[in-house]
């Protein structure tokens, strides 16, 4: 009986959490840019690069095709060992104005810091070198900032999808993370953002600079969000399909694991209680099937509880995903979500524990 009560307790907590995300998502109005609205914000786009010779040409082409042209571009080379530095040297003839910086310190966080300090714009927009923004990306962000002045704008990101099962699993999980962060923001409790598509005022960043945890390899986006939130700054999600940035999925399982381990490793440094409670609830409900699977070896009743918890979480997750399906252009996801539900408990336990025990050393 105690086990059933324990499981119901965490199921109720998870139900409340997903309900908050759902209500928050529905509360965010769709932003439709008005061409009549005058843009009066100086803009700087900052991109840190390390060994990006394959991706940089695509990003530069996308930036050159932006509907809004009056922006400053700052590219920071973080000690690349490929031809990234040579590509950056040629950029000045392709885009203007552009500033190329050779980072003095190693690490993406330090590279971004140097770029932002060099930026002349009042509004800073960051993305990654392997991302492809849509042509209306910058224009939409600027019109949104003009319409709804914000200290931090969480912008939409989606991952490339394909027929590969591995890629579809990544894409669905990533969409769930981005949508949850958007829903939390709409509910007045922002907890997640992604530096692949983020906009913030330089003034707000300067005030938060001391809170970015330079000792951590990554996480400047989340730490910035938490710092601005703590000061009572204005944080909004930009709900517009014309502001999307598309990022690539991990090519290998090892690459995916290292990325997720980097993300999880900074969790102990979080101080925002909304983030901490959310992380605890998600980890607990994800851990329950793993725990129940072990307990089931000692008795049949645990199998029924396991089926209940698994089915309950799957239905809640797919309900929320269905509510954001149109915006994120999700294809049929029911089967992929089911497969992800089977994998997720083992994935969360393995990545979570390894991230806490072994700090990642790689860039990004």
Query: Quick check: pTM over 0.85?
Result: yes
Q: What is the mean pLDDT of residues 65-89?
A: 88
The partner residues of 133 in beta bridges, in order of sequence, read 245
- Looking at the chain, the whole-number percentage of residues with pLDDT higher than 90 is 55
Flag the least confident range among 17-26, 125-134, 347-356.
Answer: 347-356
Q: Is 2 exposed, middle or buried (0-12, 13-18, 19+ CB in 10 A)?
A: exposed
Q: What is the mean pLDDT of residues 347-360?
A: 72
Flag whether pLDDT at 363 surpasses 60. Answer: no
The Cα 50–Cα 76 span in angstroms is 8
The Cα 113–Cα 96 span in angstroms is 22
The Cα 212–Cα 113 span in angstroms is 10
pLDDT tens figures, 36-59: 666 778 999 999 999 998 999 999
Flag whether pLDDT at 119 surpasses 80. Answer: yes
Flag whether pLDDT at 224 surpasses 60. Answer: yes
Backbone phi, then psi, for 217, in 5-degree steps? Answer: -65, -35
DSSP 126-178: E--TT-EE-TTHHHHHHHHHHHS--SEEE--EEE---S-HHHHHHHHHHHHHH
Residue whose C-alpha is closest to residue 257's, from 127, 134, 153, 354: 354
pLDDT at residue number 93? 60
The Cα 172–Cα 337 span in angstroms is 7
Flag whether pLDDT at 34 surpasses 90. Answer: no
Q: Is 350 exposed, middle or buried (0-12, 13-18, 19+ CB in 10 A)?
A: middle
pLDDT at residue number 302? 82
- CB proximity list for 130: less than 8 A, separation 6 or greater: 52, 55, 59, 247, 248
**What three-state secondary structure class fits 236?**
strand
Q: What is the mean pLDDT of the chain?
A: 88
8 A C-beta contact, residue 336 and residue 168 = yes
Q: What is the mean pLDDT of residues 244-271?
A: 83
Q: Take residue 175 and report the two structure tokens written for it.
A: 């969409």
Q: What is the mean pLDDT of residues 259-271?
A: 78
Flag whether pLDDT at 361 surpasses 60. Answer: no
Q: Take residue 185 and report the two structure tokens written for it.
A: 């923001």
pLDDT tens figures, 145-197: 999 999 999 999 999 877 788 889 999 999 999 999 999 999 999 999 999 99
Q: Take residue 145 and report the two structure tokens written for it.
A: 């900032």
Q: Take residue 210 and report the two structure tokens written for it.
A: 């001391």
pLDDT at residue number 148? 92
Alpha-carbon dihedral sign for residues 50, 56, 60, 62: negative
pLDDT tens figures, 89-110: 777 666 668 888 998 888 888 8
List, in order of start, the domains of the chain with CATH numbers.
2-24+272-352 (no CATH), 29-251 (3.90.550.10)
Q: What is the mean pLDDT of residues 277-299?
A: 85
Residue whose structure tokens are 């980097």: 262
Q: What is the mean pLDDT of residues 200-224?
A: 87
**CB count in 10 Å sphere of residue 304:** 12
Flag whether pLDDT at 265 surpasses 80. Answer: no
Largest CA distance in the chain: 71
pLDDT at residue number 303? 85
- Residue, of 18 and 347, whose pLDDT is higher: 18
Residue whose C-alpha is closest to residue 112's, from 189, 45, 176, 26: 45
The Cα 6–Cα 311 span in angstroms is 16
Residue whose C-alpha is closest to residue 23's, from 236, 234, 184: 184
pLDDT at residue number 208? 94
**CB count in 10 Å sphere of residue 246:** 18
Q: What is the mean pLDDT of residues 349-358?
A: 74
pLDDT tens figures, 308-329: 999 999 999 999 999 999 999 8
């Amino acid at each position: 009986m105690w086990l059933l009560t324990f499981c119901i307790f965490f199921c109720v907590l998870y139900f409340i959490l997903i309900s908050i995300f759902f209500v928050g998502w529905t509360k965010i109005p769709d932003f439709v840019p008005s061409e009549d609205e005058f843009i009066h914000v100086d803009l700087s786009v900052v991109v840190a690069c390390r060994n990006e010779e394959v991706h940089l040409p695509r990003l530069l082409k996308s930036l050159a095709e932006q509907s809004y042209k009056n922006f400053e571009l700052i590219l920071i080379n973080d000690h690349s060992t490929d031809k990234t530095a040579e590509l950056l040297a040629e950029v000045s003839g392709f885009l203007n104005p552009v500033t190329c910086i050779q980072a003095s310190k190693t690490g993406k966080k330090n590279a971004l810091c140097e770029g932002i300090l060099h930026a002349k714009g009042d509004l800073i927009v960051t993305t990654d070198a392997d991302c492809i923004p849509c042509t209306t990306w910058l224009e939409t962000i600027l019109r949104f900032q003009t319409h709804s002045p914000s200290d931090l704008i969480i912008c939409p990101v989606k991952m490339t999808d394909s027929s590969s099962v591995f890629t579809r699993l990544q894409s669905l999980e990533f969409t769930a993370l981005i949508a949850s962060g958007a829903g939390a923001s709409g509910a007045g409790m922002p907890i997640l953002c992604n530096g692949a598509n983020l906009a913030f005022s330089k003034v707000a960043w300067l005030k938060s600079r001391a809170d970015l945890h330079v000792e951590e390899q990554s996480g400047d986006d989340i730490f910035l969000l938490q710092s601005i939130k703590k000061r009572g700054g204005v944080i909004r999600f930009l709900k517009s399909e014309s502001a999307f940035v598309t990022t690539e999925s991990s090519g290998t399982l090892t690459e995916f694991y290292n990325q997720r381990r980097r993300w999880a490793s900074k969790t102990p440094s979080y101080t925002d209680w909304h983030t901490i409670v959310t992380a605890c609830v998600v980890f607990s409900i994800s851990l329950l099937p793993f725990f129940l699977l072990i307990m089931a070896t000692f008795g049949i009743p645990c199998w029924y509880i396991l089926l209940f918890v698994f089915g309950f979480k799957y239905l809640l997750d797919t309900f929320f995903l269905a509510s954001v399906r149109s915006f994120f252009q999700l294809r049929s996801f029911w089967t992929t979500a089911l497969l992800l539900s089977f994998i997720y408990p083992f994935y969360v336990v393995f990545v979570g524990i390894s991230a806490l025990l072994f700090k990642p050393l790689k860039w990004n």
